[in-house]
Amino acid sequence: MARIFGRRKEEKKPNVQAVQKTEKISDLEQLAGNDRTTYDALAQVMFLDPRKIETSMKQAVDNAKKSEKDGDIAKAGMWYEVAGGLAIYEGNVKKVVEYYGEARRVIGREYKILESPEKAVALAQEYYKKYLLA
């Protein structure tokens, strides 16, 4: 190594752990298999354990409407997202489309789940049955 100002540069050794790192896939990825589009849609919005959400879907929608009326757009969008996540858990495709559509309208965010909601909700239901009700 060349010396700069009397110091010798140390050689960096490769991080063995980084080289040997294996990629672990999630349970949801495993269920989705090769359907990356549906997996990505759910990964963006799905609650892995919605039983821990202490707000009902109706309360979330009421909170969203109130926040929107008060001019708090970010909070309204967040509450519509919560309602949409709970609709996924309930398997209600119509409500999923409605609530994520409202969130998109309010905050302008795009939701991949709106591209194929039936398929996404079906996969989410499979996940919930396998991992939450087992």
Q: What is the pLDDT of residues 3-32, one digit of tens each?
A: 555 665 555 555 545 444 456 778 999 999
Reported as a single tens digit per residue, the pLDDT across 85-133 is 999 999 999 999 999 999 999 999 999 999 999 999 999 999 999 998 7
Count of domains forming the chain: 1
**Is the residue at 55 inside a domain?**
yes
Residue corresponding to tokens 């609709």: 87
CB atoms closer than 10 angstroms to residue 109: 12
Q: What is the pLDDT of residues 64-81, one digit of tens each?
A: 999 999 999 999 999 999
- The answer to whether residue 106 sits within a structural domain is yes
CB 60 within 8 A of CB 83: yes
32, 70, 86, 131 from 38: Cα distances, Å: 7, 35, 18, 18
pLDDT at 21: 47
* Beta pairing partners, 4: 7
Residue 63 falls within a domain, yes or no? yes
**Would 122 be classed as within a structural domain?**
yes
In a domain, 121, yes or no: yes
- Predicted confidence at residue 12, as pLDDT, reads 58
Q: Please give the biggest Cα pair distance in the chain.
A: 71
Q: Is 125 helix (H, G, I), strand (E, B) or coil?
A: helix
